[in-house]
Amino acid sequence: MRILHTMIRVGNLDQSIAFYTEILGMQLLRRQDYPEGRFTLAFVGYGSEDKEAVLELTHNWDTQGYDLGNGYGHIALAVPDAAGACAEIKARGGKVVREAGPMKHGSTVIAFVEDPDGYKIELIQK
């Protein structure tokens, strides 16, 4: 067994695809409209779905946004340099909500960015 994807619901699909591809550097792997169900699925990631876990962005056509609730945590990405990644993300128009630095009660260097729907993405320096 392996993880295939994680699905998140997004309010504006084009804006979300732009964030994940242009700001975080993922690739749009596939996109499919389902007119009968009034939704679109877009899959983004850093590699092919047959080898890598990816994100499924689900856009329900009649829903403009979602309440993230208190159960969601974050998506985590490994980066070689968290401060450098934050600088690149800001230069591309992304929103850094926690600058790179040691995690609370630890020494691992982390940072957090936020996508257009408010989902948090943790950058973990490896």
Tens digits of per-residue pLDDT, 17-48? 999 999 999 999 999 999 999 999 999 999 99
pTM of structure: 0.90
CATH 3.10.180.10 region(s) of the chain?
Answer: 5-60, 75-125
3-class SS shares of the chain: helix, strand, coil, % to 5: 15, 40, 40
| Topology adopted by domain 5-60 | 2,3-Dihydroxybiphenyl 1,2-Dioxygenase; domain 1 (3.10.180)
Catalytic residues: 122
Is pLDDT above 90 for 69?
Answer: no
Domain spanning 75-125: CATH 1.10.730.10: no
89 vs 67: CA distance, rounded Å: 25
Is pLDDT above 90 for 88?
Answer: yes
